[in-house]
Every structure is written in structure tokens, then in C-alpha cells.
Amino acid sequence: MFKYDSPPGIGQIVHVNKGRDTGVYAVVIHRLDEKFVLIADGERRKFDRPKKKNIQHLTSCDYVSPEVQNSISETGRVTNGKLRYAVRTFVHEILEV
């Protein structure tokens, strides 16, 4: 898995390291400030009820979902199906290589 230290951007895949969702991959859907982001995965965490996470409790992966990024920039929303697709694509195609 590719990791880097810059703060995660919208559409970026992150790995949760602390809290109830430990071990889960999710997508950043909104940046609240320099310290906090909102994440969702489309399954347990839907777009309408995202999880507020401290970026210190996340590991940023070097993968940004263009579908999620474009949808949020154009409409301000993204479907849960696109979130699930982004996470599934990352896990199956990027991690298993």
C-alpha cells in the first residue's frame, strides 16, 4: 500500500487506524479543517451519515477516486454506490497487485 504524509483530499482513499472502524478503508468526502475530515465507505458509513475523523487516526493511500472527486465537485454529493465502487476498486486492483 502506498502511503504519504500530506493531508488527505476529497476523493482520496484512507485506512482507519483508530476507533470503532479500525481496519476499514473509506473515502474522504469533505475536509472540515486542517485536523478533521468526513469519511464514508457507502456500506457501514453512508454519504448522509459520514464519520468525522482526526487525520492523525488515518493513513492516506496514494489513490484518489476520480468518480467520487468529480461527483462531489459538480453536485456536492456522491452516491453510496460510487463510494462502494471506489473502495472495492482500490482494494481489489491496487492492493492485490
Instruction: Note the pLDDT tens digit of each residue in 18-53.
Output: 999 999 999 999 999 999 999 999 999 999 999 999
What are the structural domains, with CATH classification, of the chain?
A: 12-95 (2.30.30.30)
Rama region for 66: left / alpha / beta (φ>0; ψ in -120 to 50; rest): alpha
- Asked whether the predicted pLDDT for residue 68 surpasses 60, the reply is yes
Q: What is the rounded average pLDDT for all residues in the chain?
A: 90
- Asked whether the predicted pLDDT for residue 73 surpasses 70, the reply is yes
pLDDT at residue number 26? 96
Output the pTM of the full model: 0.89
Taking the C-alpha atoms of residue 79 and residue 16, their distance in angstroms, rounded to an integer, is 21
Average pLDDT over residues 81-97: 88
